[in-house]
């Protein structure tokens, strides 16, 4: 809504009228949901990339996440309803201080009641949508979605490209990331837990972080948690995903990253066509290898190395299908040969990629 401002008449009694100026009034943003309005440290969620249509992407994300969320966790229920108490209390009517405290508590409770299981927040980057989650485990939900799409080969989205679970966020500074990753990575890599891994790094709207330094520090942390953790780029058991947007670092550890085509929903559906183009012997070998890896889950690190090579041949990287957002700054830890004990130096030397950072 524009506000009309009339200029005062010029001194001297002139008849010339002041020219009207119209100033665009600030439009108040409506925020019905509680919680943070933008991506910030300390929240969990799902990072989704799209192709130039963020509004449609949010709609598809809500539909897809609610469908599978209800399947895994049951119908959505309101949060913090157990703390809600009746508003009427005769004993506190005379106590002004207690009444004020109670009113503030009711306001906070009503805000918490509006928290939803999935809530879109501003990501800070174009063609990127961040869905904050409450009461669920993002990595399990996204893996369940991709596993179902991989089996059924049914396309359920049009504008959503990749869907990455974000299990933790911190400030995008090297010291903060090191301190946070030391405890964040323990459930997967601290002894007696172990596994093969690779590191995937991507940065948006950030210029003060160095890719090689981040990869070297994270690889060193994984190696310090358990010396038996090894780098494997052909068929890793775990993939450490590092997504930096402005001053926020998003971290997650996912499974079947290569099998599910870098968690790209469009490419997972198209993988059936890739199999049909091979001869029957290759298709059978590749299909058996993929199904065995999918069913084994945590035991995927025990697969034959030849199987990983077959998977790479059947699932080639196709940057054209990733859209304009995906083919710009994806950076993977690249290494040739079998992993060696020197994790930090090995990952650093092999961290070159044919894709550039923003």
More confident residue, 175 or 22: 175
> What pLDDT does 291 receive?
44
Mapped onto helix, strand or coil, the DSSP state of residue 308 is helix
Q: Please compute Rg for the chain using Cα positions.
A: 26
User: Please, where are the H alpha helices in 190-342?
Assistant: 211-225, 265-276, 280-296, 305-314, 323-326
**Two tokens, residue 53:** 């249509």
Residue 110 clears pLDDT 70, i.e. is over it: no
Core vs surface per residue 125-158: b (16+ CB within 10 A) or e: bebbbbbbbbebebbebbbebbbebbeeeeebbe
Q: In this structure, is the dihedral angle defined by the CA atoms of residues 332, 335, 338 and 340, taken in order, positive or negative? A: negative
Query: Is the preceding omega at residue 284 within 30 degrees of 0, hence cis?
Result: no
Question: Distance between CA 213 and CA 191 in Å, rounded?
Answer: 25
> What pLDDT does 311 receive?
40
DSSP code for 264: B
Going by pLDDT thresholds of 50, 70 and 90, the confidence category of residue 104 is confident
- Considering only 43-52, 132-141, 299-308, which range has the smallest mean pLDDT? 299-308
> What pLDDT does 355 receive?
42
Q: What is the pLDDT of residues 193-225, one digit of tens each?
A: 999 999 999 999 999 999 999 999 999 999 999
Q: Are β-strands 21-24 and 230-231 bridged in parallel, bridged antiparallel, or unpaired?
A: unpaired
Return mean pLDDT, the chain. 74
Going by pLDDT thresholds of 50, 70 and 90, the confidence category of residue 76 is confident
Question: Distance between CA 266 and CA 318 in Å, rounded?
Answer: 11
More confident residue, 300 or 216: 216
Question: Distance between CA 123 and CA 139 in Å, rounded?
Answer: 19
**Two tokens, residue 333:** 């830890």
- Considering only 90-104, 227-241, 285-299, which range has the smallest mean pLDDT? 285-299
Going by pLDDT thresholds of 50, 70 and 90, the confidence category of residue 18 is low
Q: What is the pLDDT of residues 318-357, one digit of tens each?
A: 433 444 444 434 444 444 333 444 444 444 444 444 344 4
> What pLDDT does 339 receive?
40
- Degrees, nearest 5: CA angle 137-49-64: 50
- Considering only 11-20, 147-156, 299-308, which range has the smallest mean pLDDT? 299-308
Question: Distance between CA 296 and CA 292 in Å, rounded?
Answer: 6
Question: Distance between CA 130 and CA 232 in Å, rounded?
Answer: 29
Going by pLDDT thresholds of 50, 70 and 90, the confidence category of residue 19 is low
Going by pLDDT thresholds of 50, 70 and 90, the confidence category of residue 116 is confident
> What pLDDT does 299 receive?
42
Going by pLDDT thresholds of 50, 70 and 90, the confidence category of residue 99 is confident
Residue given tokens 């981040």 in the structure block = 214
Segment 286-305 shows an average pLDDT of: 43
Phi first, then psi: what are they for 58, rounded to 5°?
A: -65, -40
More confident residue, 97 or 340: 97
Q: What is the pLDDT of residues 165-193, one digit of tens each?
A: 999 999 999 999 999 999 999 999 999 99
């Amino acid at each position: 809504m524009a506000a009309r401002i009339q200029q005062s008449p010029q001194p001297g009694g002139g008849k010339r009228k002041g020219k009207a100026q119209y100033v665009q009034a600030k439009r108040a943003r409506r925020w019905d949901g509680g919680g943070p309005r933008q991506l910030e440290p300390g929240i969990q969620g799902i990072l989704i990339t799209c192709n130039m249509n963020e509004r449609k992407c949010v709609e598809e994300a809500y539909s897809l996440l609610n469908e599978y969320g209800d399947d895994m966790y049951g119908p959505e229920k309101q949060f913090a309803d157990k703390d809600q108490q009746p508003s009427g209390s005769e004993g506190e009517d005379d106590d002004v201080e207690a009444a004020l405290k109670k009113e503030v508590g009711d306001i906070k409770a009503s805000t918490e009641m509006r928290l939803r299981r999935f809530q879109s927040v501003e990501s800070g980057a174009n063609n990127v949508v961040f869905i904050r989650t409450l009461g669920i485990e993002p990595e399990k939900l996204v893996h369940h979605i991709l596993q179902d799409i991989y089996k059924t080969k049914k396309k359920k989205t049009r504008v959503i490209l990749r869907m990455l679970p974000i299990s933790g966020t911190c400030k995008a500074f090297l010291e903060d990331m090191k301190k946070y990753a030391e405890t964040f990575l323990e459930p997967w890599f601290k002894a007696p837990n172990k596994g093969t891994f690779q590191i995937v790094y991507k940065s948006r709207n950030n210029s003060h972080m160095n890719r090689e330094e981040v990869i070297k520090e994270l690889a060193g942390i994984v190696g310090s948690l358990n010396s038996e953790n090894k780098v494997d780029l052909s068929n890793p058991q775990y993939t450490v995903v590092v997504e930096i947007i402005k001053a926020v670092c998003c971290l997650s550890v996912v499974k079947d990253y290569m099998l599910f085509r870098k968690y790209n929903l469009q490419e997972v559906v198209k993988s059936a066509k890739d199999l049909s183009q091979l001869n029957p012997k290759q298709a059978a070998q590749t299909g058996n290898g993929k199904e065995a890896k999918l069913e084994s889950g945590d035991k995927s690190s025990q697969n034959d190395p030849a199987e990983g090579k077959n998977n790479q041949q059947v699932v080639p990287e196709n940057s054209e299908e990733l859209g304009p957002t995906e083919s710009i700054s994806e950076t993977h830890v690249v290494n040739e040969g079998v992993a060696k004990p020197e994790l930090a130096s090995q990952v650093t030397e092999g961290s070159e990629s044919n894709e550039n950072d923003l």
